Structure 1
């Protein structure tokens, strides 16, 4: 479809644009809902739905086949045209700063998966899950990428406003976590000085859970860029951290120890999975996005970037 067809500015056309959002979630060779059900969903008459379907067919967005008592089937759909007609525009996703190869691979995989799904997609980078979520709630971005751990907490906190779009699976957000302990310090000591990054919702939750059983913990505000100096200057004793961030940065100042109890390991697992959240007001569009995304492609391309087999492209 070249340019924008003025017919989509009419009443029937506006119904067609709303119908385009619904049809993005339907796979080819699946039966369409009955006209009266679509009319109820769109809040219009049966005739308007039939006219909307004709408009979508004439635009090249869909092809349908009437099969008697079996109903009408969607035989072909051009997602790029459906998305254009829907008026949803380019989806802007907020991601963490791409300081690690894993994040570069994640951005590369997401861009490729959205493009394959026929969905215009752009990325902006922001530090801190809280800052990214604030931008989402304010309508400045459409999607946010964060850990599944942080996503669960934020969706529960804003259940009327936010919804989970996708979980990309373990090790897509970060790799292994571990305790970082200053040489000469002990995790069993009272009054541990523990580094924590309160701008990172998932790190705050993970650190608080990991050190919940320790006495008189003193929290020391930090970022991954400050860790080496804090340990070297004897200002912190320990922390729990994403090892992707600190690999090769801390030299001989710390020992890396495995995480302990089962609950902490579960939290670390959820913290390692990348999740995508969006606003509930766009639930239909988010459902269409979820259904179209090939999550295995995201993980595969991320793995290729991590191995050095693919140059990051985002």
Structure 2
């Protein structure tokens, strides 16, 4: 196998690595693109493509069958070998801290989907979509999990792209306004907790209280909310109810978010999204191909229903 690995460092081997990425999720018993189509896509000659395909067959990554005028068909493939030969390595995802069962289910679902596809996967946990995106831009992680709401904002500001949207209630269940019992939110000088490290919550709370110049802003994280409300240091905030449940005392009531715009923002905030760097085309393609979104959401739902133990 060492001799074969050395051959993958040649020009033909480089083409074989690129082909491995393209073939990783090619459906079995379907016709492969023509050699000249591969050559055009890879920017090399037909002979190089033919040699690369032979290398992949000799490595046990694929088995093909020539069927005359019908073309060449992919009979068998080993996704684990294809992934290794592609040189992509272990995909590292940055996710929010797993403080809710929903996040645990999401991490478990992502791991399950990548394992099913034969892609090595690891996860690191970081608080704040901005911090996770900075790690992505610095090349420390390969992908970031965040809300679709935050993803849209960051895509507009940075060279990152959306590679998956898992749909409503995959990131958080709902948001609501938390108000200290007996407090009128129209009261001048209302003390509102805000977490600037969270792109989602900052935008939501600013939208809910837009136009209020009398607000006294209080910087706070979800871990501080219980004490801040209990000690009477804050009057209100907008928060992820997955986090708030069980952490906020009896003296706090949950109120629905108001206008249609805020509800639409909260809906986008509830959807989990995955982003990658724009210049990481091979990674983005591999992630799109590897992620079976229905499998991710099914596993997440099983964790939420306590039918599966979290594993990430």
Comparing 254-263 with 207-216, greater Cα deviation is found at 207-216
Comparing 28-37 with 274-283, greater Cα deviation is found at 28-37
Distance (whole Å) between structure 1 residues aligned to residue 26 and residue 217 of structure 2:
50
Structure 1 position 2, deviation (Å): 8.6
2:39 corresponds in structure 1 to: 39
1:310 corresponds in structure 2 to: 308
Whether the 8 Å contact between 2:142 and 2:283 is mirrored in structure 1 is no
Matched residue SS, 2:204 = helix
Distance (whole Å) between structure 2 residues aligned to residue 69 and residue 230 of structure 1:
74
After superposition, give the CA deviation of every residue in 1:144-165 in whole Å (9 maximum; x if it has no partner). Answer: 111111111111211xx21112
Whether the 8 Å contact between 1:22 and 1:284 is mirrored in structure 2 is no
After superposition, give the CA deviation of every residue in 1:273-309 in whole Å (9 maximum; x if it has no partner). Answer: 1111111222233223212322122112212222222
2:154 corresponds in structure 1 to: 154
Name the CA shift for 1:190/1:76 in 2 (closer, same or farther; >3 Å): farther
Matched residue SS, 2:214 = coil
Q: Within 5 Å, which residues of 2 pair with 1:76-95?
A: 76-95=76-95
2:130 corresponds in structure 1 to: 130
1:183 corresponds in structure 2 to: 181
Give me the CA root mean square deviation: 1.8
After superposition, give the CA deviation of every residue in 1:95-133 in whole Å (9 maximum; x if it has no partner). Answer: 111111111111111111110010000111111111111
After superposition, give the CA deviation of every residue in 1:161-200 in whole Å (9 maximum; x if it has no partner). Answer: 2111211121111111111111121223333221111001
Whether the 8 Å contact between 2:276 and 2:283 is mirrored in structure 1 is no
Distance (whole Å) between structure 2 residues aligned to residue 76 and residue 292 of structure 1:
17
Comparing 281-290 with 231-240, greater Cα deviation is found at 281-290
2:144 corresponds in structure 1 to: 144
Q: Within 5 Å, which residues of 2 pair with 1:252-263?
A: 252-263=250-261
Matched residue SS, 1:5 = helix
**What residue ranges of structure 1 are gaps of 5+ in the alignment?**
none
Hey, which bits of structure 1, 4+ residues long, moved more than 4 A? 1-4
TM-score by length of 1: 0.94
Whether the 8 Å contact between 2:25 and 2:79 is mirrored in structure 1 is no
Name the CA shift for 1:7/1:267 in 2 (closer, same or farther; >3 Å): same
Structure 1 position 270, deviation (Å): 1.1
Whether the 8 Å contact between 1:109 and 1:301 is mirrored in structure 2 is yes
Distance (whole Å) between structure 2 residues aligned to residue 266 and residue 69 of structure 1:
53
Whether the 8 Å contact between 1:188 and 1:214 is mirrored in structure 2 is no
Q: Does 1:223 align with 2:221?
A: yes
Distance (whole Å) between structure 1 residues aligned to residue 309 and residue 139 of structure 2:
32
Structure 1 position 93, deviation (Å): 0.8
1:29 corresponds in structure 2 to: 29
TM-score by length of 2: 0.94
Matched residue SS, 1:281 = coil
Whether the 8 Å contact between 1:25 and 1:287 is mirrored in structure 2 is no
State the number of aligned residues. 312
Q: Does 1:114 align with 2:104?
A: no
Q: Within 5 Å, which residues of 2 pair with 1:221-260?
A: 221-260=219-258
1:96 corresponds in structure 2 to: 96
Comparing 68-77 with 190-199, greater Cα deviation is found at 68-77
2:63 corresponds in structure 1 to: 63
After superposition, give the CA deviation of every residue in 1:10-46 in whole Å (9 maximum; x if it has no partner). Answer: 2111110111112224222333222222112212111
Distance (whole Å) between structure 2 residues aligned to residue 246 and residue 3 of structure 1:
57
Name the CA shift for 1:4/1:127 in 2 (closer, same or farther; >3 Å): farther
